[in-house]
Amino acid sequence: MRNTFTLILVWLSAMSGIAQTGAIRGKVTGTGAPASFASIGLEGTVLGATSDAEGNFELRQVPAGSYRLQVRAVGFAPYDAAVTVMPEQTAWVEATLRQQAARLREVVVTGTMRETFSLESPVPVEVYTSKYFQKNPTPALFEALAQVNGVQPQINCNVCGTGDIHINGMEGAYTMVLIDGMPLVSALSTVYGLSGIPNSMIERVEVVKGPASTLYGSEAMAGLINVITKSPAKAPLASADVFFTSHRELNADVGLSRRWGKASTLLSTNYYRFQNRRDVNHDNFTDVPLQHRISLFNKWAFQRKDNRLASLAARYYYEDRFGGERQWAPTYRGGDSIYGESVYTRRYELIGTYQLPVQEHLMLSYSYNDHHQNSAYGNTSYIGQQRVLFGQLVWNKELNQRHHLVAGATYRHTYYDDNTPATEQQRPQGGQNEPVTTRLPGVFVQDELKLSAATTLLAGLRYDYNTEHGSILTPRLNLKWAPNDDHVFRMSLGKGYRVVNLFTEDHAALTGAREVVIRNELKPEESYNATLNYQHFLNLAQGYLNLEGSAFYTYFTNKIVADFLTNNYQIIYDNLSGHAVSRGVALNAEMALTAPLRVHAGLTLMEVYQVQQPEGKQQDIKVPQLHAPALSGTFTASYNFPAARLLLDYTGTFSSPMHLPVQENDFRPEKSPWFTLQHVQLTKSFGKGLELYGGVKNIFDFMPRHPLMRPFDPFDKQVEVNNPNNYSFDTEYNYAPLQGRRTFIGLRYTLAETKK
C-alpha cells in the first residue's frame, strides 16, 4: 500500500511538472510583409526560435510565467513585448516591426566591451550581418569583407593567394581579428587564418576603425574586426548553403542546432574544394591556388541561475593549398626543379565565457589556439608552430544610471617555434634552435560617464608588460554628443602599439627568391589617432536614409617598413627613422524604401605615406604606402519582387590607382589602373526556408596583367643570361584577385523550427 501511494505521488508530481508548461506562437511582419528568419527569444532564458519564410514562429515547452519577448530582424527596430504563458495553453503574439537603419539599433559589444545599442555607443561601430554578406556569396570571411567600405582584403602573393585585411590603407598586421571577443587570428595565423572563417558560423561582424589597443591590446592599431558567432539558442534547427561556380569551385555550409534542457548546441561545418589549374594569362603558373579545406565549429550555451552566461566553443580547421607551375606535383615539393608553393595548415581553437556566480558582474573569458603550418615556397621550407593561451577577467559595474565602469585584467602566453632565423640563437658551438615564449599580462580600466542627456564621455587606460619590450601604456578618450536621435557626433582620441612578428605576419619574407635583411633590431611601433564621426538619420516619406561621415588621422612612430626597391634581390626591414601618416575621410550612405529598394554605398578618400630622411641627405622625402588607393568605394543595391519571391542584388567595389612593389627599371607600371569588380545575383524563394540563387561574379572580367616577374625562371637560375635590367622572380605585384568572370549557382535551406 505504501509503495502504491508513493508511485501515485511520483506520477502526480510528474504530471504537475508537465502541466506547468505552455507555448508561444506568433507571426512577425514588417512594412506590410512577413519578416522572414527573424530572431525570437525570451529575455533571461535560452529559449529561442527563428521565424520561417512566412514570418511564423513557435516556442514550445515554455515554463508558465511572465516574460519579455524579444524580436530582432535586419533593417528593423528591436521589438519587445510582455507575454504571459499559462499552463497547457498557447499564447499568441503578433509582432509588427518598424523599419529602421539596422546599425542605429543593433546591439554591439566591440567598442566598449559591453552590450549597448550602436546609436548610444560613444565609439562608432559598424555592424554587418550574415545576410549582408549573402548578397555576394563567398567561401570565407576574407573575400566577404571586400564589401565593407574602408576595409580592403589584399592578396600579397600571386602564387599561393595569401592575404591580409587593410583598414584605412594600413597593412594587415595592424588589424586585429577577434572571434567572440577573443584574439584568435594573429601572428602566424594572420596570413592563412582569415580564409578559414566560413560565413556559416557568423551571426554578425562588428568593425571598429582606429586604434583599440586600450581594450584589446597589441595589433589593434588600425582597428579591429570582431566576428560574433551564431547563438545556439536562436539558430535554426537545420541549415544548408551550397554553391558551385563555373571555375569548378565547390563550397558547402551545413549547420545543425539542438536544445537539451538547459543546454543548447550548434554544429557548423564548412567544406571548400577548388582543384582547377587555370592559367588564363599563359605564364605557366596557376592563376588561383588550388585549395582543399574543412572547418568544423561546435558551440554550446548553458542556462544558469539568475540568467548568468556560460558558453563554450571549439573549432578545427585544415587546409591543403598549392600554387605554382602547372606541371608541379607533390614529388617536387621543396625542390628546385619545378616551382610550387605548397602549404599544409592545421589549427585548433577553444573559446569560452563564464560569468562568475557572485553578486558583481564578473565575466571570465578564455581562449586557446594551436596553429601548425608546414610550407614549401619553392625550395624554401617553412615549418611553424604557434600556441596562444589567452585569459581575460572583466568587471562591469553600473555605478548609477549615468556612470558605468569597466575594468579588467588579461594575460596572453604565446609559444612560437619555426625553422627560420627568428628562433635561432647563436651559441659558441653554433646556431641552436630556441622557441620563443612571450608573456603579456595587462590591466585596463574604462570609465563611461553620461554628462547630460546628449553628451557621453568615455576615458580608458591600459597597461601591458611585454617580456621582451617592457612596459607599454595606451590611453583613449571618446566623446559623443547627440542632441537627438537624428544627429550623432563622435570624437575619438587614442594611442596604439604593436610588437612585430616578422616571419609570421609578412608572407613576402618567405616567398619568391628575395633575401630577407633586418638592418637593425626592430622596436615596437606606436601610433596616435584622432577621428571625428558624424551620423545623420532621415525619415523619408517612403523609407529612411542614414548618412555617416568620418575624418581620421593616424601618426606612426617606429613604423616597420619593408624596402622592396633598393635591391631587386632583397627585402630590407627596419624601423622608420622618420614617421608615417594615414589620413582621410570615409562616407557611408544607407537607404531603404518601401518600394522595396535598399541601397548601401561607401566612399573612402585617403593618403597614406612615410616621411623619411635618406642617408647623406638633409631633406625629408615623402614615400607613398604600397597597396593604399587614394580613392576606393563599395556599393550594394537590392530590389525585392514580392509577388514573384525574387530578390535582385547588385554589388561591387572600385579602386583608384595604388602604388605597387615594382623592381628597378620594371617594365610594369608602378601604379595600378582604375578598376572595378562587380557582381549580380538573383535569389528565388520557394517558401518554407528553401532558396535557389545564382549569378555572375566579376561581370567585366577584370584581371591584373603581368602579376609575376620572370615566371619562366622562378629559381633565378638564369638571371645572368639575357637579363639587362637585372630582374628577379617576384610574386608580390598584385592589386586585385587573379580570377576573371565566372557564373555561380547555389541552394540555401533553413529549417526554422523551435528546438525541443
464: CB partners within 8 A, 6+ apart:
217, 218, 440, 441, 442, 471, 472, 474
Q: What is the dihedral of CA 372, 376, 380, 381, to 10 degrees?
A: 30
Range of weakest confidence among 199-208, 344-353, 655-664: 199-208
Statement to judge: residues 202 and 324 lie in one domain: no
Q: Give the CATH number of the domain where residue 129 resides.
A: 2.170.130.10
Q: Which of 98, 129, 163 is the last residue of a domain?
A: 98
- Are residues 641 and 608 part of one domain? yes
In order, the DSSP letters of 299-320 are: EEEE--GGG--EEEEEEEEEEE
Same domain, 194 and 239: no
Residues 652 and 717 in one domain: yes
Average pLDDT in the chain:
84
Judged by average pLDDT, the poorest of 181-190, 269-278, 282-291, 429-438 is 181-190
691: how many CB neighbours lie within 10 A of its CB?
A: 20
Predicted confidence at residue 639, as pLDDT, reads 92
Of the candidates 563, 565, 573, 561, the residue with the CA atom closest to the CA atom of residue 662: 565
CA distance 371 to 188: 7
pLDDT at residue 217 is higher than 90: no
Largest pairwise CA distance in the chain: 107
Domain-located, residue 437: yes
Q: Look at 210 and 29; give whichever has higher pLDDT.
A: 29
**Helix (H, G, I), strand (E, B), or coil: what is residue 511?**
coil
What average pLDDT does range 634-661 have in this prediction?
A: 93
Shared domain check, 208 and 263: no
Pair (200, 280) in one structural domain: no
Secondary structure (3-state) at 133:
helix
C-beta of residue 371 within 8 angstroms of C-beta of residue 188: yes
Is 18 or 322 the better-scoring residue by pLDDT? Answer: 322
Average the pLDDT over 14-23 and give the result: 62
| Higher-confidence position of 108 and 552 | 552
CATH of the domain at 35: 2.60.40.10
The proportion of the chain whose per-residue pLDDT surpasses 90, expressed as a percent, equals 38
Go through the chain and tell me how many residues it has. 756
Alpha-carbon distance of 680 to 113, in angstroms, equals 37
Please check whether residue 235 is in contact with residue 157, taking contact to mean a CB–CB distance below 8 angstroms.
no
Residues 249 and 396 in one domain: yes
Same domain for 208 and 326: no
Give tens-digit pLDDT for 336-379.
Answer: 999 999 999 999 999 999 999 999 999 999 999 999 989 898 88
Identify the bridge partners of residue 69 per DSSP, sorted by sequence position: 42, 81
Q: Has residue 733 been placed in a domain? A: no
Contact present, 535 and 751 (Cβ < 8 Å): no
Are residues 513 and 456 located together in one domain of the fold? Answer: yes
Give the residue-averaged pLDDT of 160-174: 81
pLDDT at 756 over 60: no
CA 365 – CA 353 distance, rounded (Å): 4
Q: Is 304 a domain residue?
A: yes
Residues 353 and 272 in one domain: yes
Q: What is d(CA 373, CA 474) in angstroms, rounded to the nearest whole number? A: 33
pTM of the model: 0.81
Of 65, 98, 131, the position where a domain reaches its end is: 98
The answer to whether residues 372 and 384 touch, using CB atoms and an 8 Å cutoff, is yes
**Which string of DSSP letters, residue by residue, matches 371-392?**
EEEEEEETTEEEEEEEEEEEEE
Q: Confidence class of residue 148 from pLDDT cuts 50, 70 and 90?
A: very high
Give a yes or no: residue 238 inside a domain: yes
Q: Is 520 exposed, middle or buried (0-12, 13-18, 19+ CB in 10 A)?
A: exposed
Give the residue-averaged pLDDT of 32-43: 80
Same domain, 578 and 644: yes
The pLDDT assigned to 7 comes to 47
Residues sharing a CB contact under 8 Å with residue 368, sequence separation 6 or more, in sequence order: 348, 349, 350, 387, 388, 389, 390
Q: Is the pLDDT of residue 755 over 60?
A: no
What would the mean pLDDT of 439-450 be, rounded to a whole number?
91
Task: Tell me which residue range forms the domain holding 59.
Answer: 2-98
pLDDT at 320: 95
Q: Please report whether residue 648 resides in a domain.
A: yes
Q: Which cell goes with 401? A: 544610471
Note the pLDDT tens digit of each residue in 708-743.
999 999 998 888 888 888 898 988 888 888 889 999
pLDDT of residue 234: 82
Instruction: Tell whether 735 is covered by a domain.
Output: no
Give strand pairing partners of 557.
526
Weakest-pLDDT range from 176-185, 405-414, 630-639, 742-751: 176-185
Q: How far apart are CA 472 and CA 454, in angstroms?
A: 34
| Residue at 734 is within a domain | no
Q: What is the mean pLDDT of residues 77-81?
A: 82
DSSP state of 45: S
| SS3 call for 189 | helix
- Tell me the helices (H) and strands (E) count for the chain, helix number first: 7, 45
User: Would residue 756 count as lying in a domain?
Assistant: no
For 566-608, what is the HEC assignment? CCCCEEEEEECCCEEEEEEEEEEEEEEECCCEEEEEEEEEEEE
| pLDDT of res. 672 | 94
The residue out of 98, 126, 147 marking a domain boundary is 98
Best mean pLDDT range from 26-30, 238-242, 473-477: 238-242
How many domains does the chain divide into? 3
The predicted-structure confidence for 382-427, as pLDDT tens digits, reads as follows 888 889 999 999 999 988 888 999 999 999 998 888 887 667 665 5
Do 494 and 577 have their domain in common?
yes
The rounded distance, in Å, linking the Cα atoms of 171 and 668 is 23
